[in-house]
Structure 1
Amino acid sequence: MAESLSPPFLAPGDGIALVSVSRFGEASVIEQAESWIRAQGFTPFRAPNLGARDHQFGGDDASRAADVNWAIAHPEVKAIWSIRGGYGAVRMVDAIDWNALRAQPKWLIGFSDFTLLLGHAFQQGLCAVHSWMPIQLPTSTPKSLESLADLLRGTPHVLSAPAHSLQRPGHTEGPLVGGNLSVLYSMLGSPSFPNLQGCILALEDLDEYRYHLDRMFWGLKRAGVLEGLAGVAVGSFS
């Protein structure tokens, strides 16, 4: 992992670009996202190809990568927010201009399939945000909605969780990295898989059978990538 680069926090009026790196976004979702961004005092920008559709994708691979690169180059954009997850990030991640993003860091925001970009950003030494996306706006709690806005302003919330019988008590510190287990597992052996040495690994997943989860955990363990972890934070699994 390269030296950590934290993008600047956002000031009132700063731009947030909406992009689709995976599945296409419905017009209503895009409009809701723009309204929420304005309500937080920021300025929404639509990537040139946002709203396009190529089968299940938000445009073809080249167009989706071009939108991210457009947002990286845009002088008023300070954060790049994926409209939703799905599948497709792996098809365009290598066409992103990561050197340009390192030269002018901006917040990458998303989760689910976006885990691939979060991992790749971590390997590039870039801090990024594992967060809800516009598709979740109608179902996210007010606390969750506020947490993203406050983080972008530079006042992140302190996270806490109730005690669980399977928790291992203790104190640990380290970079927080991870995301969707299925996507992380698919990244094994690629340049996008994050170096987890000394890290706290955060994991979540959706709609997976227990034996699928077991297979993925064993795959990660046998690959040796879990050795040297500082800790594990387990989110929602269903």
Structure 2
Amino acid sequence: MRKPDFVKTGDKIAIVSTARKINLKEIKEAIAILETWGLVAILGSTIGKENNQFAGSDRERASDFQNMLDDKEIKGIWCARGGYGTVRIIDKIDFSSILKYPKWIIGYSDVTVLHSHLHTLGICSLHAPMPIDIHKGTEASMVSLKNTVFGEKIRYNIPSSKKNILGNCKGQLIGGNLSILYSLCGSASSLDTSGKILCIEDLDEYLYHIDRMLQNLKRNGYFDNLSGLIVGGMTKMHDNNVSFGKKAKRIILDSVQEYDFPVVFNFPMGHVEDNRALIMGAEAFLQVHKDQVTLEYI
């Protein structure tokens, strides 16, 4: 996997929306944060654009992303928000320039489409808070993004959950939003998970659908040769009037019970306040002990 150069003071970071619409007011605090880091925010044409729920038409969103992708002066593209829409433009984008001059693509949730596709191309990307919500998160999540893009050494130590499956493993970090991973199965953006550490998180889903998505990943071989599983926020889950009978953690454990890899719950990633930056595609070492979980890059 090729890792983009880390940024330095004075570098330009583009802010675009590949999915839902967003206005300038909603990202003013993110722009100010970039400026305090010594970086220059370059706003894409999709900021402030509207096409029903989208930040402009598919053509406009693809064009905005493409322009920033091809601009050699732009050292990173920070996706303004998630929602839905990135999958509608992924096949309209020419990624040849990023193969020559890798740059950081940053975001989470719907941006999982880009993380997955870039992984198939051999380019690392950054699963991290976005302009719409970075100011609402913890100080630790903001610092993790800054330290990661500037190339500081990263090591996460978190308390261990009682439901964790203990063990150590190594592998490239992959994944993101479970619903997006599920939707990409069978496409050119679907992941090869063999020997890797899969990260999943989700928001506002019914418990039976969590089970359905995991069963689909299982049937697609996602767990067959997996090195490890990291579960972030399973936030605001719903149940039907007739209960599914299991919570999200139990659904996940039951889905992977026949496999032999460590599993981590409550990792600070996803639709949670403490959403730490993770380099997708980077080689990592995961240690899951009874009292503590450690994740560091190799």
| Shorter-chain TM-score tier | over 0.9
TM-score (norm 2): 0.77
Residue in 2 that maps onto 1:162: 159
In the alignment, is residue 28 of structure 1 matched against residue 29 of structure 2? no
Q: How many residue pairs were aligned? A: 235
Given candidates 181, 202, 207, the residue that maps to 1:210 is 207
Question: How many Å apart are 1:94 and its aligned residue?
Answer: 1.1
Given candidates 127, 132, 137, the residue that maps to 2:129 is 132
Instruction: Work out the CA distance in 2 between the residues paired with 1:17 and 1:156.
Output: 24
CA deviation vs aligned residue, 1:125-164 (integer Å, no higher than 9, x gap)? 0000001111112311111111101100001431222111
Moved more, 67-76 or 115-124: 67-76
Question: What letter matches 1:24 in structure 2?
Answer: K
TM-score (norm 1): 0.96
Structure number with the higher strand fraction is: 2
Instruction: Work out the CA distance in 1 between the residues paired with 2:86 and 2:34.
Output: 23
Residue in 1 that maps onto 2:83: 86
Moved more, 89-98 or 120-129: 89-98
In the alignment, is residue 113 of structure 1 matched against residue 110 of structure 2? yes
- SS of 2:229's equivalent? strand
Residue in 2 that maps onto 1:201: 198
In the alignment, is residue 9 of structure 1 matched against residue 16 of structure 2? no
Q: Is the 8 A contact 1:17 1:44 kept in 2?
A: yes
Given candidates 55, 71, 75, the residue that maps to 1:74 is 71
Instruction: Work out the CA distance in 2 between the residues paired with 1:213 and 1:115.
Output: 17
Question: How many Å apart are 1:165 and its aligned residue?
Answer: 1.6
Question: How many Å apart are 1:68 and its aligned residue?
Answer: 1.1
Question: What letter matches 2:175 in structure 1?
Answer: G
Instruction: Work out the CA distance in 2 between the residues paired with 1:48 and 1:118.
Output: 22
Residue in 2 that maps onto 1:172: 169
Instruction: Work out the CA distance in 1 between the residues paired with 2:219 and 2:27.
Output: 41
Equivalent residue runs for 1:35-74 within 5 Å: 35-74=32-71
Question: What letter matches 2:53 in structure 1?
Answer: Q
Q: Is the 8 A contact 2:30 2:135 kept in 1?
A: no
Given candidates 138, 142, 145, the residue that maps to 2:139 is 142
Instruction: Work out the CA distance in 2 between the residues paired with 1:10 and 1:90.
Output: 27
Q: Any stretches of 5+ residues in structure 2 without a counterpart?
A: 236-298
In the alignment, is residue 101 of structure 1 matched against residue 98 of structure 2? yes
Q: Is the 8 A contact 1:112 1:180 kept in 2?
A: yes
Over the matched positions of the two proteins, sequence identity in percent amounts to: 39
Q: Is the 8 A contact 2:117 2:190 kept in 1?
A: yes
Instruction: Work out the CA distance in 1 between the residues paired with 2:177 and 2:157.
Output: 20
Question: What letter matches 1:89 in structure 2?
Answer: T
Q: Is the 8 A contact 1:83 1:134 kept in 2?
A: yes
Structure number with the higher helix fraction is: 1
Q: Is the 8 A contact 1:147 1:156 kept in 2?
A: no
Question: How many Å apart are 1:57 and its aligned residue?
Answer: 0.5
Give the structure with higher Rg (CA): 2
Instruction: Work out the CA distance in 1 between the residues paired with 2:221 and 2:8.
Output: 42
Instruction: Work out the CA distance in 1 between the residues paired with 2:101 and 2:13.
Output: 15
Residue in 1 that maps onto 2:120: 123
CA deviation vs aligned residue, 1:165-185 (integer Å, no higher than 9, x gap)? 221211100000100000110
Q: CA RMSD in A?
A: 1.0
Question: How many Å apart are 1:227 and its aligned residue?
Answer: 1.1
- SS of 1:9's equivalent? coil
